Structure 1
Amino acid sequence: MSVKPLAFIPEHDVAVPARLLVLAQGDSVRPVWVNGVGGMTFRMAEGTARERYVKYAAAGTPESDFAREAERMEWAGRFSPVPEVLERGADEDGSWLSTRAMAGASAVDPVWVARPEQAARAVGIGLRAMHDALPIGSCPFSWSVEDRMAGFEARVASGESPADWGNGYSRFTVDQAREMLGTPPPIDKLVVCHGDACAPNTLLDVDGNFAGHVDLGDIGVADRWADLAVAAWSTEWNYGPGYERLVYEAYGVQPDAERIAYYRMLWDLT
């Protein structure tokens, strides 16, 4: 059975693509994140005024076009703390997106993994801050159920079967899953969702307060539970069981079992 690709902080040396060595112009280059589907993030000029992060994806991988993320980041940056886009480009080997470094560290930095209660609360606080700040009326992007169902159909068309699905979803047939995903619960509240509100994409300052968000390629209008269900779920992957409730408490909502179950299935199968 296949599993969802894992993202992680690299513990060993990662080969730096030749293009990034050119872009570094002599600055230090350190790998800080690998997402398991061909994407890597490098920190350049660490500790200097030129400090920046560069996401890189080899040609032909799922993340080989950063135009989508750059556009969304530039829009969101008018309202909420997100990285400033410096440059993006591509060549025959891959593509890249460079952003100015923000103060703060990922909520899965070892410092915060060792303080999971504080980190989980910051994830909830940060998500609420983003949802409150981003204006749905002027948002040009959508992350609706209808938009996302294309991902499910693409997986099925590729030959994937329920036997490939994890988290207990393999007990459903394709038709059953399609019907379940096609009948979402009523909208609770429309917001501009982050689109990948997992703990690693929340930045915390040195005191553990919310500082910003990264990885914004799927920003769009959707029910707030599309973000909430996954943000809370991610605490189990990153900190262990028992911290989901802190995300909901910090956000200011009571857990909604029906919406949580639906949006986790939508996340996993699309």
Structure 2
Amino acid sequence: MTHPVVSEIPTGPVPVPPAVARLADADTITPVWRNELGGLTFRLDGRESTRYAKWVAAGTPEIDLPAEAERLKWARRWAAVPRVVGHGSDAEGAWLVTAAVPGRSAVDPRWLADGATAAAAIGHGLRVLHDALPVDGCPFDWSVERRLRRADERIADGEGPADRFPEHRDLSLAEARARIGDPPPIDRLVVCHGDACAPNTLLHDGGTFAAHVDLGSLGVADRWADLAVAAWSMEWNFGPGYDGAVYDAYGVAPDQERIAYYRLLWDMA
């Protein structure tokens, strides 16, 4: 059973927040993405350049755009990620503006029709990122311990089995919490993307990896924290049968114990 897509390319009219309208000035504004928390991304096309503006309403603690700006600036020294143009906030929300980078999202219609190419680019791109970013000196953390605190916050807010992916709804709250409280040993510490779902990898027109976007949770963790979710997201966006291509392109054999653990942790946290 596939999980319903919770983030999507908008298909109808999207109100433009006043802050984005001000940032755009005379540029053409095109909505390109809406995430599951209501955050919006707009493409701003001007005569000489294209920018992207991410906007999130005030009171959405799950999305920290200043933190993403900090991570992008750090990671850009070694990896293909967007250049930060500016960020800010007002009473209505916060925004982050980045320069365009070459490439199309792996869930662009072109690549939705070619899941094998998308899967290979996602796996290879993740390996490139993990090999390039230095763990030593990385100021950002995405550890199990940090994510368990977030899981406990969600539990305290009353979230339960009905809020989970179908694969995990048969677990009671106590069973699920016990499982994520017993992580497998670290395989390899890397600087993880933190949201390695298919939409956040860009591909060149030839089908090769181009860049990563949406690095608001970037931080040091076991590589399987990224790998498990990257391969899982292929099923959400492309259907079953492509997860193995992600692992093959990364250059690793599937580790079922770690895959199961990090998928449940993702779901809970």
When normalised by structure 1's length, the TM-score is: 0.95
Q: Is 88-97 or 160-169 further displaced after alignment? A: 160-169
* Residues 38 and 63, structure 1, Cα contact 8 Å, conserved in 2: no
Deviation at 1:179, TM superposition (A): 1.6
Change (3 A) 1:142 1:79: same
Taking structure 1 as reference, are residues 134 and 62 closer, same or farther at Cα in structure 2, changes over 3 Å only? same
CA contact (8 A) 1:57 1:63 kept: no
**Range moving further from structure 2, 171-180 or 183-192:** 171-180
SS at match of 2:245: helix
Matches within 5 A, 1:149-168: 149-168=148-167
1:215-270 Cα distance to aligned partner (Å, 9 max, x none): 00111111100000000011111111111100000000011111110100000111
Q: Which runs of 4+ in 1 moved over 3 A?
A: 62-65
Report SS of the residue matched to 1:23: helix
The aligned residue for residue 231 of structure 2 is 232
Ranges in structure 2 where 5+ consecutive residues have no aligned partner: none
SS in 1 for 2:136: helix
Give the letter aligned to residue 7 of structure 2: A
- Does residue 220 (structure 1) correspond to residue 219 (structure 2)? The answer is yes
Matches within 5 A, 1:5-44: 6-44=6-44
Residue identity in the other structure for 1:45: D
Pairing of 1:75-114 with structure 2 (within 5 A): 75-114=74-113
Give 3-state SS (helix, strand or coil) of 1:168's partner: helix
The Cα shift of 1:70 comes to 0.6
RMSD: 1.4
Question: How far 1:137 moved relative to its partner?
Answer: 0.6
Partners of 1:115 and 1:5 in 2: how far apart?
18
Number of aligned positions between the proteins: 267
Is residue 130 from structure 1 mapped to residue 129 from structure 2 by the alignment?
A: yes
**SS where residue 138 of structure 1 aligns?**
coil
CA separation of 1:213/1:249 partners in 2, compared to 1, >3 Å: closer, same or farther?
same
Q: Does structure 1 conserve the Cα–Cα contact (< 8 Å) formed by 2:5 and 2:236? A: no
Residue pair 2:161, 2:168 contacting (<8 A) in 1 also: yes
Cα deviation, residue 162, structure 1? 2.9
Higher mean Cα deviation, 11-20 or 26-35? 11-20
C-alpha contact 1:53 1:101 (8 A) present in aligned 2: yes
CA distance in 2 between partners of 1:267 and 1:90 (Å): 28
The one-letter amino acid of 2:21's match is: L
**Separation in 2 of the partners of 1:234 and 1:58?**
26
Opposite residue 170 of structure 1, the aligned amino acid is: R
Q: Deviations over 1:72-124 (max 9, x none)?
A: 11100010000000010111111100000001110100001111111110000
Question: What is the CA deviation profile of residues 182-209 of structure 1, one whole-angstrom value per residue up to 9, with x for unaligned ones?
Answer: 1111111110000000110001111111
The 1:223/1:4 distance shift into structure 2, 3 A limit, reads: farther
Secondary structure at the aligned position of 2:166 is classed as: coil
The DSSP-based 3-state class of the residue aligned with 1:83 is coil
Which range moved further: 84-93 or 48-57?
48-57
In the alignment, residue 7 of structure 1 is paired with which amino acid?
S
TM-score, normalized by length of structure 2?
Answer: 0.95
Q: Does 1:178 align with 2:177?
A: yes
